[in-house]
Amino acid sequence: MCGIVGYIGERPAAPVLLDGLSKLEYRGYDSAGMAVYDGEKINFAKATGRLKVLSELTHDGETMPGSAGIGHTRWATHGAPTDSNAHPHFNKERTIAVVHNGIIENYVKLKKKLTDKGYEFCSETDTEVVAHLLDYYYTGEPLETVAKIMHRVEGSYALGIIFMDHPDVIYSVRKDSPLIVGRGKDGNLIASDVPAVLKYTREVCFIENEEIAKLSRDGIEFFNVDGDLIEKDFKTIEWDINAAEKGGYEHFMLKEMYEQPKTVRDTMNPRIKDGQIIIDELGMTEEEIRAIRKIHIIACGSAYHTGVTSKYIFEGLARIPVEVDVASEFRYRNPILEEGALVIIISQSGETADSLAALREAKAQGVTTLGIVNVVGSSIAREADKIMYTWAGPEIAVATTKAYSAQLIAQYLLAMKFAQVKGRLSEDGLSEMLRDLKRLPDQIELLLNNKGRIQKFANRYIAAKDVFFIGRGIDYAISLEGSLKLKEISYIHSEAYAAGELKHGTISLIEDGTLVAAVATQDELFKKTVSNIVEVRTRGAFVMAVTNEGNTEIEKNADYVIYIPQTNKYFTNSLAIIPLQLFSYYVSVGKGCDVDKPRNLAKSVTVE
């Protein structure tokens, strides 16, 4: 997620901006930039890559004199991570500078309107429309102009703005993207998050949606969207910097789990319009969709598990045959890709070596490839024929949670779209599924709020040696991910088994007290899974069951039950995985493991 910082005061601004941006690095970024007013003009510097490059370019800010400026770390969404796409963005005369965090949803329309009026764009970003829009509406009165563009811009934004003809002021405004104002002894600041200002002040004000802040060297004023002066309270921050970066959560993993409702909304909402699924970015005609004969889903780790889930959905709903492969196996098995095949590569980082190699193999065989990727401009995003982004934002914890949830949503949407085009999903069926899909964020939140109960249960298992996860159908896919989460962050051996397969060998490992997590969310398989629960329980297993609300009969056969809210049978993974993530997290915390950086693991696996 992008980070913004602004400073106006007695100090040289550039070093303050660089320092503030360094405290926002945890948000993830791929380029950085800043603009500083030097008394005559607005100077700027931009650099792709780490903040260190921007620091070196500006000699730690020394080459950019001036005591009013704005800075930015960009996490690419619209346009690749390049110098020209890095912020700040400007109007043509470079008299207005803007940094932005968020997404301008109507930027295509605004860009067209501005282009028709003769404005020229030098980046691919949505942000640049803001700079030109400010120019278009500029009356010489910044406050009025900022308020005016707020009526024109749709989406989310936190903005830092400098007008060259009002050089003693920084303007800032937000809607649905975070923004705080810091009141310091020798200057005032804006930032996306508290850590960026803590070195200079602990007096912080949280700006609400559609409020404008006007910062000068010796004062801060707040206005509403009508330009009326409003009163706001400042708070004293008591947390230390580490806690602040994690937004008060103990670990990034917990923070990211809590971001899942937002991630699901962000991945879903822009693709549902007027009761229809619109995935414009695919650029696939209905004819092309109808021509798909087979889908190959290829990925690694958790991303692979989302593919295992969606196999059931593509096949069950759209009746398209699906093969799912672990990327490191796919490339070496001399795969047969027939005409009419669509290869879907799923990857959070977009850089996983095996997934990238599988993509290249598929392209070499001449079939259409589609990347479902989180990191904009990553290798897989660039090389795939078609791209569908998951809008999870940067994921810091090594163990994926929110990107996993976003990958599921992207695949639900694809499967539903394909089913509809292939005449397998009626309008009524679609509306019913969309209704359930839209309920998922609130349902996920509900499950997250149940964390206290799961924490208590998890604490009983910190000394466990082996844990088994079982399920059938989609519940098997959920088990795979539940098991991986546990072993990777708690170092407890665990295995996932298709519930019916256990008795073909593995059941010999069940002893008195062995924990078996049984997932039973699929109505048509419920009784079968219960039989498998009975098999392990009679051999001494302690059974934790995850099932749908209403399936209370399971309490006769399971020792501990977690209920998930009712949803469409194809969406249960999005809910059932939440208690399993929480369970793994609390076992790991209880054992004192390094939750965010488990031993031997890397966030992005760029080697075979």
Looking at the annotation, which residues are catalytic? Answer: 2, 603
Using the contact rule CB under 6 A, the part of the chain among 104-112, 135-143, 300-308, 546-554 near ligand F6R is 300-308
Rule CB under 6 A: choose which of 16, 300, 341, 464 binds ligand F6R.
300
Scan for tokens 């602040």, then name that residue: 244
Beta bridge partners of 371: 345, 387
What is the number of alpha carbons within 13 Å of residue 101 lying toward its C-beta? 31
Q: How far is the CB of 39 from ligand F6R (least distance, A)?
A: 46
Rule CB under 6 A: choose which of 58, 67, 347, 379 binds ligand F6R.
347
Footprint of ligand F6R on 102-141 (CB under 6 A) = none
Using the contact rule CB under 6 A, the part of the chain among 53-61, 295-303, 541-549, 588-596 near ligand F6R is 295-303
What is the distance between the terminal CA atoms of the chain, rounded to a whole angstrom?
Answer: 28
Choice between 370 and 525, CB closer to ligand F6R: 370
How far, in Å, CA of 573 to CA of 406, rounded?
12
Choice between 295 and 489, CB closer to ligand F6R: 489
Q: How far is the CB of 60 from ligand F6R (least distance, A)?
A: 33
- The reply on whether position 301 binds ligand F6R by CB under 6 A is yes
Q: How far is the CB of 377 from ligand F6R (least distance, A)?
A: 14
Residue nearest to ligand F6R (CB): 301
Taking residues 428 to 447 in sequence order and writing x for each that binds ligand F6R by CB under 6 A, - otherwise, the string is: --------------------
Q: How far is the CB of 601 from ligand F6R (least distance, A)?
A: 8
Footprint of ligand F6R on 478-497 (CB under 6 A) = 484, 488
Secondary structure (3-state) at 1? coil
Number of residues that bind ligand F6R (CB under 6 A): 15
The enclosing H or E element of 485 equals helix 474-490
Using the contact rule CB under 6 A, the part of the chain among 92-100, 109-117, 341-349, 576-584 near ligand F6R is 341-349
User: Is the bond preceding 88 in cis, omega lying within 30 degrees of 0?
Assistant: yes
- The reply on whether position 605 binds ligand F6R by CB under 6 A is yes
Taking residues 211 to 250 in sequence order and writing x for each that binds ligand F6R by CB under 6 A, - otherwise, the string is: ----------------------------------------
- The reply on whether position 355 binds ligand F6R by CB under 6 A is yes
Rule CB under 6 A: choose which of 399, 409, 444, 478 binds ligand F6R.
399
Using the contact rule CB under 6 A, the part of the chain among 48-56, 87-95, 296-304, 333-341 near ligand F6R is 296-304
Secondary structure (3-state) at 243? helix
Total number of residues shown for the chain: 608
Q: What does the block give as tokens for 180?
A: 């705080």
Q: How far is the CB of 489 from ligand F6R (least distance, A)?
A: 8
- The reply on whether position 359 binds ligand F6R by CB under 6 A is no
Q: How many beta carbons lie within 10 A of that of residue 170, not counting itself? A: 29
- The reply on whether position 377 binds ligand F6R by CB under 6 A is no
Choice between 114 and 480, CB closer to ligand F6R: 480
Q: What does the block give as tokens for 57?
A: 């370019």
- The reply on whether position 352 binds ligand F6R by CB under 6 A is yes
What are the CA-CA distances from residue 328 to residues 78, 301, 573 (Å)?
30, 10, 25
The enclosing H or E element of 493 equals strand 493-498
Cβ distance 205 to 235 under 8 Å? yes
Q: How far is the CB of 589 from ligand F6R (least distance, A)?
A: 16
Q: What does the block give as tokens for 191?
A: 């930032």
Residue 385 neighbours by CB under 8 Å, 6+ apart: 363, 368, 369, 370
How far, in Å, CA of 575 to CA of 309, rounded?
13
How far, in Å, CA of 463 to CA of 513, rounded?
12
The angle that helices 427-448 and 260-268 make with each other, rounded to 10 degrees, is: 160
- The reply on whether position 303 binds ligand F6R by CB under 6 A is yes
Cβ distance 200 to 230 under 8 Å? no
- The single-letter code of the amino acid at 454 is I
Cβ distance 162 to 155 under 8 Å? no
- The reply on whether position 379 binds ligand F6R by CB under 6 A is no
Q: How far is the CB of 399 from ligand F6R (least distance, A)?
A: 4
The enclosing H or E element of 322 equals strand 322-326
Alpha helix segments (H runs only) across 100-249? 107-116, 128-137, 142-152, 241-245
DSSP assignment letter at 317: I
- The reply on whether position 390 binds ligand F6R by CB under 6 A is no
Using the contact rule CB under 6 A, the part of the chain among 294-302, 465-473, 538-546, 548-556 near ligand F6R is 294-302
Nearest to 310 by CA among 336, 346, 283: 346
Choice between 352 and 574, CB closer to ligand F6R: 352
Cβ distance 198 to 244 under 8 Å? yes
Q: How far is the CB of 599 from ligand F6R (least distance, A)?
A: 14
Q: How far is the CB of 373 from ligand F6R (least distance, A)?
A: 8
Beta bridge partners of 235: 204
Using the contact rule CB under 6 A, the part of the chain among 250-258, 301-309, 453-461, 491-499 near ligand F6R is 301-309
The enclosing H or E element of 173 equals strand 170-175
Using the contact rule CB under 6 A, the part of the chain among 113-121, 344-352, 362-370, 560-568 near ligand F6R is 344-352
Q: How far is the CB of 300 from ligand F6R (least distance, A)?
A: 4
Cβ distance 99 to 38 under 8 Å? no
Q: How far is the CB of 329 from ligand F6R (least distance, A)?
A: 14
DSSP assignment letter at 97: E
Phi and psi, residue 118, nearest 5° = 100, 0
Q: What residues make contact with ligand F6R under the rule CB under 6 A? A: 300-303, 347-349, 352, 355, 399-400, 484, 488, 604-605
